[in-house]
């Protein structure tokens, strides 16, 4: 673990450097100036209070799903299903919030809505968890399958299930007590942006979850299982149960991302709300490298790219930023592998030298 953490920063820096080069090349291919486009990205994001607020808004669900994916990765699991878990969690938050009595106090309404969202996300992850633990099914296949099922199930629930308002694909407004306040209430300079205090919940959750990796038995065990499940089974650790629990908890955290989309932004759930944040969480987790600060930085980075894509859309397609996200993730993974091989060769060099002299 110590060796892995020592190469995390160089791998991330290398990935970001390659990402910048890719940005320059792609922008140049579209006939635009990389320097001018970079200036537009800055002006449309951190260059104004509104842009900064929009970055924080877009980073919020990415942070939650990044934590979710990171926890699963800790156990050696690749949770591709955060997209579906967020979607069903968001639907649950919208439905529960809409059915609360209008005068329900926030101390009751908000925990009920968030708890329902987390329970829905956990339930959606339970199927892949059981398939993994009981039958050894690969979680990548089963979580992708659950993403597709979530799309259809939500459409049926809103339409045939009667959860949507007549003639729409959205639920009724949630009770005011279930809403998360906008940051502009305390920071007037962010007026007009969609950033909410859900971001603070995400930051707190990041430190809580990553801190549990070292301070709780469960956190330490899933980390060791991710390194060598057979060795942990030989030590009488309930490997199957821990894998199932890790995937279910990961789903619950992904469902909690509805804090930033349903409860902190729209005030209701509509079909497609939060789409892409689940897959964006994969990028956040891979770049964040299991560090609280790394995950927060990664969420802000990819939130910046999303908002920046809108700023340059008049000159280059905003989808270029999605391509750039993929480039950064692949570059970090390749750089990490290169540094790992180099470290392995360096650690074996003294042994080989000793054998040669003997």
Mean pLDDT is lowest, of 82-96, 162-176, 211-225, 321-335, for 321-335
Range of the domain at 126: 69-285
296 is a domain residue: no
- The pLDDT tens digits for 288-311 are 988 999 999 999 999 999 999 999
261 is a domain residue: yes
The Cα 52–Cα 113 span in angstroms is 28
Is the pLDDT at 219 greater than 60? The verdict is: yes
291 is a domain residue: no
- The pLDDT tens digits for 139-179 are 999 999 999 999 999 999 999 999 999 999 999 999 999 99
255 is a domain residue: yes
- 271-277-279 Cα angle (round to 5): 115
209 is a domain residue: yes
Domain count, the chain: 1
Contact 82, 281 (CB under 8 A): yes
215 is a domain residue: yes
For 58, other C-beta atoms within 10 Å of its C-beta total: 25
pLDDT of residue 97: 97
Matching residue, tokens 């808004």: 57
95 is a domain residue: yes
141 is a domain residue: yes
Q: How confident is the model at residue 101 (pLDDT cuts 50, 70, 90)?
A: very high
């Amino acid at each position: 673990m110590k060796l892995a953490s020592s190469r995390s920063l160089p791998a991330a820096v290398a990935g970001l450097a390659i990402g910048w080069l890719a940005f320059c090349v792609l922008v140049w291919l579209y006939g635009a100036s990389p320097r001018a486009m970079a200036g537009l990205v800055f002006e449309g994001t951190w260059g104004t209070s509104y842009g900064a607020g929009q970055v924080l808004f877009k980073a919020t669900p990415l942070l939650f799903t990044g934590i979710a994916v990171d926890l699963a990765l800790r156990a050696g699991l690749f949770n591709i299903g955060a997209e579906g878990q967020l979607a069903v969690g968001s639907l649950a938050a919208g439905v529960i919030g809409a059915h609360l009595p209008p005068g329900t106090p926030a101390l009751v309404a908000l925990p009920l809505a968030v708890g329902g969202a987390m329970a829905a996300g956990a339930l959606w992850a339970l199927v892949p968890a059981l398939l993994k633990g009981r039958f050894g099914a690969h979680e990548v296949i089963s979580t992708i399958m659950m993403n597709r099922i979530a799309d259809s199930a939500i459409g049926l629930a809103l339409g045939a299930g009667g959860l949507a308002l007549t003639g729409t694909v959205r639920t009724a407004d949630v009770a005011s007590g279930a809403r998360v306040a906008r940051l502009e209430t305390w920071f007037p300079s962010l007026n007009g942006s969609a950033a909410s205090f859900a971001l603070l919940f995400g930051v707190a959750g990041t430190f809580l979850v990553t801190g549990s990796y070292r301070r709780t038995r469960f956190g330490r065990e899933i980390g060791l299982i991710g390194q060598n499940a057979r060795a942990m089974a030989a030590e009488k650790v309930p490997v199957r149960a821990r894998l199932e629990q890790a995937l279910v908890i990961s789903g619950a955290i992904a469902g909690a991302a509805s804090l930033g989309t349903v409860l902190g932004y729209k005030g209701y759930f509509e079909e497609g709300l939060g789409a892409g944040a689940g897959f964006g969480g994969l990028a956040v987790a891979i770049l964040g490298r299991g560090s609280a600060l790394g995950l927060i930085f990664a969420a802000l980075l990819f939130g910046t790219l999303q908002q920046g894509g809108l700023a340059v859309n008049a000159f280059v397609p905003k989808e270029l930023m999605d391509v750039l996200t993929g480039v950064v993730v692949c570059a970090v993974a390749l750089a990490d592998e290169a540094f790992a091989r180099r470290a392995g060769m360096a650690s074996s060099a003294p042994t080989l030298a000793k054998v040669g002299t003997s």
